[in-house]
Structure 1
């Protein structure tokens, strides 16, 4: 049987990454019912995911690959990443799983704005239209004026701050990705997450049931596998081809929340998700056209 071509392999890996992400967030949401704090989620995700990452590091250059000439750049990236992922986990605690995942996909919207403000990159009117549509999607998810099934505004604010943090990470990675090995970026982020979360664990951690610890450990392994699949997919296929499959995370979160957590999606969640996903997919399509046709106005990559 012939081996799949690189494009097919890249798509399969991206779908696997979306599935493991959905499972990770679902397990963490389940664990939050036992009053697990976001710091605990960060600690166990990094600790249980590190062995998986180390296997990948040793297979991709070994310890030489994690050496860096830019420790301060890694410090900035890790600081932004820890803040962002902690806010993401907090949003899982405050919001229904599907809503938290959907709002998280506003990260490309913030990346567009930051690329214009920080990197001074040109953003065409088509991309600005996508930004506006994305924020309309967020407004719909918020259920303005709803008297029942209203989404907590604090949760929405935390999820948006998490997306802004992730966009900041994207900008930082674009600045250091040209000189730093991917293994170094991933490894030092996991190490810094363990160190920072470990310092706060005595203040926020509490005892849980054995089942909860199993959920946290499973989420950590899923997080490590997700990281491997994401990286491998980028080595197999162009970003413009595989990035749209990230939106399967919304589908996975919706199904998990409905069937496992007993939280069916509302019409607002589905409508807002459609607009946010459409905004991101349109952006990816415009970027693909720009790369093929120099006459198409340039847009910002969100990869």
Structure 2
């Protein structure tokens, strides 16, 4: 069942989601640098979600909202999501916060490339030019021949952006029949045991502050994901992902307040190219979407 679209509401949800995701990555980087290993961070990110959602649904009498006929699809989404989480959190720990955030903005570039190679979509010169512009920005941020940037961190960040293209469309598809809280619950339900398999090899003793940060990662991540899923339920993917760029503002502020580090000159030059490329692609997708809708309406009128 197709739901009515509420584009402005969807944009507002995505902006709030971007703020929470920036907070999440700040916490991941901080606790990761304190010595907590990546697999354990991933486990607590998911494990904390389950009691939050189950408690809320039980209190409101909404446990029936977890009924689904699409468990296999939720499972595939969880496999992709956990893989993407490993890439994402790994890049966040290895790179400065602003730089890892900027790499996430390459998702629209990969969306165009995958659309051309996999879906055989016709891509016009505007979008191809935007892709070239965006990847030029990535090269600048990587600073080849300049300051040392973690090659592994850059690779993980780009893989994260690539996987996020598929995940956005998975969530969009699930949103046709599932509520956001249902999608988030099953991601955690499948993802927690996946991450738990690694705990015997990586779990260590933690300080009270580390435990607080791990719990906060789960809480903040849960609400960030709920808002992201809701934005894709009420708005088109190409439109709402533009609001993800606001995340760079918060990442820069966190980097300055906590690590006393501002983005490098290369990032200041490269980031606008990546952001501009993403906005051109989103604008073009919006125009094409309106054109397709108009042509469909005209076809219906002619056949009536």
Same fold (TM > 0.5): yes
The match for 1:90 is: 90
The match for 2:73 is: 73
Structure 1 residues 171, 116: closer, same or farther in 2, change over 3 A?
farther
Q: Any idea what the Cα deviations from partners look like across 1:251-295, whole Å, max 9, x if unmatched?
A: 111110112122211011122211111111111111222223349
The match for 1:301 is: none
Q: How many residues align?
A: 290
| 2:274 paired residue among 273, 276, 296 | 276
Q: CA RMSD in A?
A: 2.8
Moved more, 231-240 or 215-224: 231-240
The match for 1:39 is: 39
The answer to whether 1:200 aligns with 2:210 is no
Q: Which runs of 5+ in 2 are unaligned?
A: 1-5, 295-304
Using the alignment, how far apart are the partners of 1:117 and 1:90 within structure 2?
28
The match for 1:300 is: none
The match for 1:247 is: 245
Structure 1 residues 244, 76: closer, same or farther in 2, change over 3 A?
same
Structure 1 residues 74, 61: closer, same or farther in 2, change over 3 A?
farther
Structure 1 residues 74, 11: closer, same or farther in 2, change over 3 A?
closer
Moved more, 180-189 or 71-80: 180-189
Query: Is the partner of 2:206 in helix, strand or coil?
Result: coil
Using the alignment, how far apart are the partners of 2:261 and 2:192 within structure 1?
32
Do 1:101 and 1:249's aligned partners in 2 also have CA atoms closer than 8 Å?
Answer: yes
Q: CA deviation at 1:21?
A: 0.9
Structure 2-normalised TM-score?
0.84
Q: CA deviation at 1:189?
A: 0.8
